[in-house]
């Protein structure tokens, strides 16, 4: 294991808290920051996130704080773990406290609708003095907090930085790969949330395994088309942050995107489903942005298109399925011929 480091987590939701617990148990000195007063009070009093990770205690190596300046200064690594809608705002607040060359890794997933920026793009814009990487993969917080075997990938412009982050996070239960393909990692992690909403809707409608398998497979095709147009490596799309994350998010009881979709399939309105899930459903925030990217790069993404219509245009889930199944006949892969 790497030498002990001082690591700060900005964001004390389920994912930030789970990773903070893991690094704390590895012996790192961890700072866990939140601007939510009730969350700070709960973590200090109970030494656990009773709402998101009940029963999993913070080790003594994890310090809880609401002081952003303190959380950002004199640390080896800053981990951005706030939900995607709050990344830009948190970055603006943190910027004055971030030193030149500070290593930052973002572990949230999403695309900003107004700008079509990935979360790393936002951090580069708002904290230009920092060295910013991403960490993604099939990794539910509930399982990482319980030390269930998990594998992720770190993407960075600089190999040395990627290896630095790999060494901090990697342990016998949490395997970390490295990659230079940042855009591929971020697209896989963002678009899969939209496809997971569709998978949940299918389950809510009462459809079976055939339907979900088809949806996941065609979802991979949509992610691949957009990734190719935006310069992602297809090996990344077929890897942990692409297919791996898509599978786990479309099938797991822990997936807030699948769970929200399930409720919509059962007849809940979007607002009712989000209220019931009680967490940020990233796919809802990313759906319009992904559709805009598809339009910008002239990429066909019919599943994403139908999800946007369900979420924002009152399209019924049944009608969306009918439209998808009755599209024009075509080859599965247009570039394949019969010789």
What is the Cα gyration radius of the chain? 20
Other beta carbons within 10 angstroms of residue 172's beta carbon come to 9
Q: How far apart are CA 108 and CA 83, in angstroms?
A: 6
Q: How far apart are CA 117 and CA 165, in angstroms?
A: 23
> In 205-269, which ranges are continuous DSSP H helix?
209-229, 234-237, 245-251, 256-265
Of 65, 4, 5, the residue nearest 31 (C-alpha)? 65
Q: How far apart are CA 153 and CA 241, in angstroms?
A: 7
**Measured on CA atoms in the order 84, 88, 94, 98, is the torsion positive or negative?**
positive
In three-state form (DSSP H/G/I as H, E/B as E, the rest C), the secondary structure along 97-140 is HCCCCCEEEECCCCECCCCCCEHHHHHHHHCCCCEEEEEECCCC
Of 103, 243, 127, 142, the residue nearest 187 (C-alpha)? 243
Please give the positions annotated as active site: 192
DSSP conformation letters of 21-43: HHHHHTT-EEEEE-S-HHHHHHH
């Amino acid at each position: 294991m790497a030498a002990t480091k001082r690591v700060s987590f900005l964001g004390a939701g389920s994912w930030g808290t789970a990773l903070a617990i893991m690094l704390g148990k590895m012996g790192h000195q961890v700072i866990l920051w939140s601007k939510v007063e009730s969350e700070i009070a709960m973590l200090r009093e109970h030494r656990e996130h009773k709402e998101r990770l009940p029963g999993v205690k913070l080790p003594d190596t994890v310090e809880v704080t609401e002081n952003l300046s303190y959380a950002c200064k004199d640390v080896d690594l800053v981990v951005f773990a706030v939900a995607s809608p709050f990344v830009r705002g948190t970055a603006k607040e943190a910027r004055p406290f971030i030193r030149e060359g500070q290593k930052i890794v973002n572990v949230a997933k999403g695309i900003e609708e107004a700008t079509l920026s990935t979360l790393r793009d936002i951090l580069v814009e708002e904290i230009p003095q920092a060295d910013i990487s991403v960490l993604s993969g099939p990794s539910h917080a509930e399982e990482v907090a319980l030390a269930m075997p998990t594998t992720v990938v770190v993407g960075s412009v600089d190999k040395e930085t990627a290896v630095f982050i790999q060494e901090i996070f990697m342990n016998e239960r949490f395997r970390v790969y490295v990659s230079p393909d940042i855009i591929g990692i971020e697209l896989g992690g963002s678009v899969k949330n939209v496809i997971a909403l569709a998978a949940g809707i299918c389950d809510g409608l009462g459809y079976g395994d055939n339907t979900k398998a088809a949806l996941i497979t065609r979802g991979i095709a949509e992610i691949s088309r957009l990734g190719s147009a935006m310069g992602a490596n297809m090996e990344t799309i077929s890897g942990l942050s692409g297919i791996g994350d898509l599978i786990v998010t479309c099938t797991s009881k822990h997936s807030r995107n699948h769970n929200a979709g399930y409720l919509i399939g059962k007849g809940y309105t979007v607002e009712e489903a989000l209220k019931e899930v009680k967490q940020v459903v990233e796919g809802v925030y990313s759906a319009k942005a992904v559709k805009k990217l598809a339009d910008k790069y002239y990429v066909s993404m019919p599943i994403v298109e139908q999800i946007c219509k369900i979420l924002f245009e009152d399209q019924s889930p049944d009608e969306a399925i009918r439209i998808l199944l009755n599209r024009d006949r075509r080859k599965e892969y247009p570039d394949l011929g019969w010789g």
